[in-house]
Amino acid sequence: MSVTIKDIAKILNVSYATVSKALSDRDDISEEMKAKVRKVAEELNYKPNYIARGLVKKETKTIGLIIPDITNPFYSEIAMAIEETVNKEGYSVFLCNSNWKNSNENDYINLLTSKKVDGIIIAPIGEESLNLESVDIPIVIVGTKKSYNNQNYVVIDDEKGGYIAVKHLIKQNCKKIMFVGGKQNVQSNKQRLEGYKRALIESNYEINEQYIRSGNFKQESGYLIMKKVFNDGIIPDGVFAGNDLLALGVMRSALDFGLKIPDDIKIVGFDDIPFASLPEISLTTILQPKYKMGEHAANMLLSKIKNPEINCENIILKPKLIKRKTG
């Protein structure tokens, strides 16, 4: 079908070892021979078969990226950073959407090991049942510092982020502060909730379980949660949302209910996705350096691939409050 090293060898009447070595510029091949080989390769439009190469070299120059949802700006920016970073070193990335389902995460891990990727970066949804024990390829976790089989991770300090957010609301004189989170079992979500609680306790606020709600990390979820809250007759004056998407939903719901932001209710999100900075939104939020996170994760993985023996330091990036108009 497609042209191989053997075709080139046949034309030049040399062994295919010669062709292989000529193409990879080894120094036991004469310059004339290299020139001849390159010329024929060019003429035949030869493209090396990396599958065959992968089989003998036992590396595919490919990594897997497992994320919950590429449609979420937080993950798409991380994905972008990872792809750009590893591509510079000649690696490709398999995009895998777990769709917030742990079973998909495990399925993808099996698939990726069968496809012989050189490493995996995963942003776990956070369930216990993520199984990394039997995986013998380098792995980097991004977005949660929950320990999965002692793998290295790149995160921001979620607890501190939650703490900063809620401290800010308290300083703005909010009295009834809600937490509208994503999936309960997601580690980063738990950590943000911990920060929420610590801030409240530190300021002698009461922890009211009525004020702690969870859904998933989508806009619609924030909208529905708050709709229900308002219908239940609860009207908070401050909301710390588990991410910006949720915060947007919360905003929409609050506006629908007739509340003024930030006069009646202040809202702080988490992530700082691109749209948060739009003047029409102007969402006060906790910045995650998403691109940096992806870059760090990618570089960490590459280093693990190249030097499996040396072990890396985990990376914990600092969250930062971005004050805008919603709180």
Partner DNA sequence: ATAATTAACTTAAACGTTTAAGTAAAAGAT
Partner DNA sequence: ATCTTTTACTTAAACGTTTAAGTTAATTAT
Q: Which residues bind DNA (CB under 7 A)?
A: 1-2, 4-6, 13-18, 20-21, 23-24, 28-30, 32-33, 46-49, 52-53, 55-58
Q: Where are the beta strands (DSSP E) in 157-204?
A: 177-181
* Range 193-222, binding its own copies (CB under 8 A): 219
What residues does 167 pair with on adjacent strands?
none
Judged by CB under 8 A, the residue of 20, 102, 106, 113 near its own copies is 113
How many residues of this chain bind its own copies (CB under 8 A)?
53
In order of 139, 276, 301, the CA distances from 308 in angstroms are 11, 39, 10
Judged by CB under 8 A, the residue of 30, 99, 203, 208 near its own copies is 99
Rank residues 52 and 278 by Cβ distance to DNA and give the closer one: 52
Residue 187 sits at φ, ψ, to 5 deg, of -60, -45
Question: Cβ distance 239 to 250 under 8 Å?
Answer: yes
The 8 Å CB, 24+ separation contacts for 129-134 are: 129/102, 130/102, 130/105, 130/106, 131/106
Judged by CB under 8 A, the residue of 17, 35, 52, 207 near its own copies is 52
Interacting stretch for its own copies, rule CB under 8 A, among 87-95, 163-171, 190-198, 309-317?
A: 87-95
Radius of gyration of the CA atoms of the chain, in A: 26
Site residues (vs its own copies, CB under 8 A): 1-2, 45, 47-52, 54-55, 58, 60, 62, 65, 69-71, 73, 76-77, 79-80, 83-84, 87, 92-97, 99, 110-111, 113-116, 134, 136, 219, 248, 251-252, 255-256, 274-275, 278-281
